[in-house]
Chain A
């Protein structure tokens, strides 16, 4: 009796609906792989079977054994990278979820993510670490990034609140403006990586140590190898997220304490939404803006505030990803928007806009990305199949309500049978 009431709860049903969406998404991906395998003689049914196994269990793939068969087992690098890549997804997922709770579809996450990335990279690479301790620079960079994101997010917020411009359109426009602005800022900056000659089009990693030096009266930059007779003016860079021993737990991966920061922020947002007056006001505005106004809630202020908060969250995603010290930012980004921003949408939808749920759905998404990577590495298929799966999941979550009623009917049908 107790078990039944648990299964009939709305929350349980929502989680079940998400799981059904994941299942159907995986199934659709497998079908595509199977069809491609069958029509492509070089792959065949065995190739397709390998592809399907990697899509489902790519996280545990360890490569191929001596005979050439796929081998599976615990892969610490994959696990660590999954956690590492989940960080930006958690943040953008939170951003979209917060917007959804307040009735705003925040498709502007890519632009806010870029704003955060640019601002935090600027601080991390410009503030001299010879004068300010690196950990303080890291915190400053993260906070500046979040502030930039908040500002960027509040633009569509204000357009929506005061001029009644559809936030979806305003967000899309600000995305592309951000992409161009970021390219412009970095193009005219001195942060383009010139120390590593092989890299072009990238900004320094935040962990790179850059020395501003004067050699023979000419001001220039040098890496850790300072030329003889050079006068060092200041040192920049060398900023990276603390590892906290996570890298020895997951050897060979890029994981760092960013995942812990992201989880803490997710919990904070959860508390904000469900336990505070502000959270209640935001949700009231989302449910019915005009009724909320009638109840004395300042709806316009709340819309701007929601978008600013959402912007700060997305921006924190970008900041945490690039402050890790082992990622590089491709600055000439004006023709494309970061996928992490758009992937916040499926993350939030899959988590039914629950901030704690976002942690899990983001981890699932990043697991899919790892699976896609393994698929490209080990078979003739490529990683885009995981995007197909994600898209199918988003498609299904558009009519989550139908799936939920369908699950409900299924339950009732069983009850009648009993």
Chain B
């Protein structure tokens, strides 16, 4: 059970953050189909940051001194860097969609094509292979919290809460949850957030009240890029051993589905992400999953093909969308370029 909860969280949290990224863009009126591309770009930049800092030897010093706080600090810095780079990358979409009134679907697709191309081009040149790994050692032992850090011995077991939420988890996951909560509050409880949302519903009315629609849409897209970039880095950190290979396996698109499933609302998105995380987790590790701890691998004994588990998140998305599409409420002005003269 602790394993299931822990792994579900690890898959669900990047999904949640990236889905919120989608919400920020769409609530301001821009369809951000580029989430996948921004994730790929952010992941690459984050890994590159970690790799470079490692190369300078700062990591090794902190690691040798068992200064785990500094290590986590570096990890947080890498997240920040990935977020910044994601924001910069999303400016491409913002510029095309807002200033040039481009087709946002095609613009987003372009970014989705551009990100893996650029990233793989540079990875090949930097690393002479298709994967950019960390400079030294694997990420798990550098950024993962372990019970030994809290004075537990090899044989000692932590209690249920400890082994679920402390042992073998990443601080990055919790930072993401915090960011998710803060950003959700900003979207709903501050003046900025409400103005941003109004631009996705009726930008002309917002403009008549003195709101800078163009500025708000830029803010929405750039914040979206930042969240997606960070989500991308956290995804590769926690599930791909901190190595970038120009691919996040459709996670960005899955996040879009989570966003629609969650009806563009943070609370629902959180629930939807958990559901998807659970299925991702089951697909990845059903054969060694011991749900109630009695030593019986229930799901393995069911003898269902792996590919069915892998398909599940996508099939469920379609089924759920089929049932909820009638009541789903997308922002009214999303995808429509802002034209001040149109009332």
Chain A residues at the B interface, C-beta cutoff of 8 Å: 32, 36, 40, 105, 107, 159, 163-166, 168-170, 172-177, 180-181, 183-184, 187-188, 334-336, 342, 345-346, 349, 380-382, 384-385, 387-388, 390-392, 394-395, 397-399, 401-402
Q: B250 touches which one: A40, A159, A172, A395 (CB < 8 A)?
A: A172
Query: Is the pair A346, B125 in contact by a Cβ cutoff of 8 Å?
Result: no
Tell whether, in the assembled complex, residue A390 and residue B311 are in contact, meaning their CB atoms are under 8 Å apart. Answer: no
Tell me whether A390 and B106 are in contact in the complex, defined as CB-CB below 8 angstroms, given that A170-B321, A180-B311, A334-B310 are known contacts. no
A-B contact sample (16 more), CB < 8 A, given A32-B121, A169-B321: A163-B322, A163-B326, A164-B325, A165-B325, A172-B253, A173-B257, A175-B250, A180-B307, A180-B310, A181-B311, A385-B121, A395-B111, A398-B96, A398-B102, A398-B110, A399-B101
A105 to B105, alpha carbons, bound, how many Å?
A: 8
Contact in complex: A184, B307 (CB < 8 Å): yes
Of all chain B residues, the one with the shortest Cβ separation from A162 is B322
Question: Per-residue 0/1 for B289-325: is the Cβ within 8 Å of any A Cβ (1 yes, 0 no)?
Answer: 0000000000000000101101100110110011001
Do the beta carbons of A388 and B117 come within 8 Å of each other? yes
The answer to whether A169 touches B256 (Cβ under 8 A) is: yes
Give the residues in chain A near B33, CB-CB below 8 Å.
Answer: 168
Name which residue of chain B comes closest to A402, CB basis. B100
| Complex alpha-carbon distance, A346 and B318, angstroms | 27
Check A184/B317 contact, CB under 8 A, given A336-B247, A394-B113. no
Using CB atoms, name the residue of chain B closest to A39.
B125
26 sampled A-B residue pairs with Cβ under 8 A: A107-B109, A163-B322, A164-B325, A165-B318, A166-B260, A168-B33, A169-B257, A170-B318, A172-B253, A173-B257, A173-B318, A177-B314, A184-B308, A336-B247, A345-B106, A345-B113, A384-B118, A387-B113, A388-B117, A391-B111, A394-B110, A395-B96, A395-B110, A398-B96, A398-B106, A402-B101
Set A164, A183, A384: member contacting B117, Cβ < 8 A: A384
On whether A399 and B120 interact (CB within 8 A), knowing A164-B325, A387-B113, the answer reads: no
The SS class assigned to the B binding surface is helix
Chain B 99-133 per-residue mask, 1 if CB under 8 angstroms from chain A, else 0? 01111111101110110111011001100000000
Q: Which residues of B have CB within 8 Å of A390?
A: 113, 117
**Could you tell me the distance in whole angstroms from the C-beta of B228 to the nearest C-beta in chain A?**
16
Q: Which residues of chain A are near B96, meaning CB under 8 Å?
A: 395, 398-399
B318 and A183 form a contact (CB under 8 A): no
- Nearest 5 interchain pairs by C-beta: A387-B117, A391-B114, A184-B307, A395-B110, A399-B102
B92 at interface (Cβ–Cβ under 8 A)? yes
Q: Would you call B249 an interface residue if the criterion is a C-beta within 8 Å of the partner chain's C-beta atoms?
A: yes
For the residues of A in contact with B, the DSSP-based class is helix
Kindly identify, within residues 247 to 293 of chain B, every residue whose CB is under 8 Å from any CB belonging to chain A. Answer: 247, 249-250, 253, 256-257, 260
Report the bound CA distance from A342 to B96 in whole Å.
21
B24 to chain A, nearest CB (A): 18
CA distance A121 to B104 in the complex (A): 37
Q: How far apart are the CA atoms of A334 and B317 in the complex, in Å?
A: 17
Q: Which residue of B lies closest to A343 (CB)?
A: B113
Q: How far is the CA of A169 from the CA of B109 in the complex (A)?
A: 13
Cβ distance B137 to chain A, nearest Cβ, rounded Å: 25
Contact of A177 among B106, B107, B124, B311 (CB under 8 A): B311
Interfacial chain B residues near A382, Cβ < 8 Å: 120-121, 124-125
In the bound complex, CA of A382 to CA of B111 (Å)? 20
Cβ-defined partner of A169 (8 Å) among B100, B116, B260, B307: B260
Cβ of A93 to closest chain B Cβ, rounded Å:
14
How far, in whole Å, are A187 and B311 apart by their CA atoms in the complex? 15
**Once bound together, how far apart are the Cα atoms of A398 and B98, in whole Å?**
12
Assuming the contacts A349-B106, A395-B111, asked whether A165 and B321 have C-beta atoms less than 8 A apart, the reply is yes
- Check A384–B121 contact: CB distance below 8 A: yes
Determine whether the beta carbon of B308 is less than 8 Å from that of A391.
Answer: no
Residues of B close to A336: CB separation below 8 A = 247
Residues in A neighbouring B314, C-beta threshold 8 A: 173-174, 176-177, 180
Q: Which residues of B contact A165 (CB under 8 A)?
A: 318, 321-322, 325
In the assembled complex, the CB of A403 is this many whole angstroms from the nearest CB of chain B, namely 9
Q: How far is the CA of A36 from the CA of B33 in the complex (A)?
A: 29
Most buried by B among A166, A385, A395: A395
Q: Which of B117, B120, B321 has the most chain A CB atoms inside 10 A of its CB?
A: B117
Residues of A near B260 (CB, < 8 A) are: 166, 169
The reply to whether A184 and B322 form a contact with Cβ atoms under 8 Å apart is no
Pair A394/B322 contact, Cβ less than 8 Å: no
B69 → chain A closest CB, angstroms: 35
Given contacts A180-B310, A395-B110, contact A36 B247 (CB under 8 A): no
Residues A395 and B117 in contact, CB atoms below 8 Å apart: no
Q: Which residue of B lies closest to A396 (CB)?
A: B110
B322 closest partner in A (C-beta):
A163
Instruction: Give a binary string over B126-149; 1 marks a CB under 8 Å from any A CB, 0 the rest.
Output: 000000000000000000000000
A107 CA to B108 CA, complexed, in Å: 12
Question: A395 CA to B89 CA in the complex, in Å?
Answer: 13
Q: Is the CB of A395 within 8 A of B325?
A: no
Q: How many angstroms from the CA of A166 to the CA of B102 in the assembled complex?
A: 19
Chain B, range 66-96, C-beta contacts under 8 Å to A: 92, 96
Shortest distance in angstroms between B240's beta carbon and chain A's nearest beta carbon? 12
> A105 — which chain B residues lie within 8 A by C-beta?
105
- Closest chain-A Cβ to B141's Cβ sits at a distance in Å of 25
* Most chain A CB atoms below 10 A, which of B105, B111, B113, B314: B113
Q: In whole angstroms, how far apart are the Cα atoms of A164 and B321 in the complex?
A: 9
Alpha-carbon distance A184/B305, docked complex (angstroms): 8
Docked pose: A175 CA to B250 CA in angstroms? 10
User: What is the CA–CA distance of A136 and B215 in the complex, to the nearest angstrom?
Assistant: 62
Q: How far is the CA of A390 from the CA of B307 in the complex (A)?
A: 32
- Nearest chain B CB to A216's CB is how many angstroms away? 32
Chain B residue numbers with a CB within 8 Å of A180 are 307, 310-311, 314
Which chain B residues border A399 with CB–CB below 8 Å? Answer: 96, 100-103, 107
Q: How far is the CB of A113 from chain B (nearest CB, A)?
A: 16
A12 → chain B closest CB, angstroms: 22
Please encode chain B, from 9 to 20, with 1 for each CB lying within 8 Å of some chain A CB and 0 for all others: 000000000000
B109 near A394: Cβ-Cβ < 8 Å: yes
| Interface pair A168/B311, CB less than 8 Å apart | no
Question: Which residues in A have their C-beta under 8 angstroms from that of B307?
Answer: 180-181, 183-184, 187, 334
Contacts of A334 in B (CB 8 A): 307, 310
**Docked CA distance A381–B103 (Å):** 32
Closest residue on chain A to residue B120 by CB atoms: A384
Chain B: minimal CB distance from A395 (Å): 4
Residues of chain A within 8 A (CB-CB) of B247 are 335-336
Are the CB atoms of A395 and B257 closer together than 8 Å?
no
In whole Å, how far is B18's beta carbon from the nearest beta carbon of chain A?
Answer: 14
Rounded to whole angstroms, the CA-CA distance of A36 and B123 in the bound complex is: 12
**Complex Cα gap A392–B106 (Å):** 11
Greatest chain A CB density within 10 A among B102, B247, B249 is at: B102
Assembly CA distance A264 to B63 (angstroms): 65
Q: Is the CB of A159 within 8 A of B114?
A: no
